[in-house]
Amino acid sequence: MASKLTVNVNRFGKRDRVKNGDDFTQIIRGGAFAADDILVVNVRRRLAGPDQASSRIGITIPRKTGPAVVRNRWKRWIREAFRTQRAQIPVGLEIIVRPKRDAAGGFDAIAQSLPVTVRRASRKLKDN
């Protein structure tokens, strides 16, 4: 009996992540940013390449946010918000997300905040 392979289009794979420290620096210095009560978002247009039509996200959680358990929870919430709200996030962007220092709220607040803040930041980008 042949097994059926199902593909999850909402998965969060390696191609969806910003991992290189130089990329983080270039996105923060060369892009636009927006913030609300919960998140600070930096965005930059994605460079030409085979995956240019999708957006990538990088997450940075400062130690001032709290102990490791709290920081890891924030990372999980932001990753899941990106994964589930991807249809509402503009394509072709590299995105860096961090929580505000005194931010409070759970997953629902982050999932609501992320696409709105990314769209606001992307409108500030200069047209090339």
Instruction: Express each pLDDT in 48-64 by its tens digit.
Output: 666 666 889 999 999 99
Q: Residue 42 carries which side chain, given as an amino acid letter?
A: N
Q: Is the pLDDT of residue 6 over 70?
A: no
Total domains present in the chain: 1
Report if residue 3 sits inside a domain: no
Measured CA to CA, the distance from residue 22 to residue 106 in angstroms comes to: 30
Report if residue 8 sits inside a domain: no
Among residues of the chain, what percentage have pLDDT more than 70? Answer: 84
For residue 36, give its domain range. Answer: 14-123
Measured CA to CA, the distance from residue 65 to residue 49 in angstroms comes to: 35
Is residue 39 within a helix (H) or strand (E), and if so which, with residue range? strand 39-45
The pTM of the full predicted model, rounded to 2 decimals, is 0.84
Enter the tokens of residue 75: 């990372």
